[in-house]
Amino acid sequence: MCPLLVQSHARVFNYPLAQHGDSCYELQTDETVTWEHGEAFCKQRGGHLVSITSAAEQAFVEAFMTRNNPNHAVWIGLNDRNVEGTYEWTSGVVYI
User: How do residues 57-88 score in pLDDT, each as one tens digit?
Assistant: 999 999 998 988 778 888 999 999 888 998 89
The residue range of the domain holding 50 is: 2-88
In the predicted structure, residue 51 carries a pLDDT above the cut 70: yes
**Position 49 in a domain:** yes
Does 94 fall in a domain?
A: no
Q: How far is CA 53 from CA 58, 69, 75, in A?
A: 8, 21, 16
Residue 18 counted as domain residue = yes
Q: What is the pTM of this model?
A: 0.76
- How many domains does the chain contain in total? 1
Q: Does 93 reside within a domain?
A: no
The residue ranking higher by pLDDT, 43 or 11, is: 43
Domain with residue 35: its CATH number is 3.10.100.10
**47 lies in a domain?**
yes
* 86-88 vs 17-20, strand pairing mode: unpaired
Confidence tier at 7 by pLDDT (50, 70, 90): low
Residue 95 lies in a domain: no
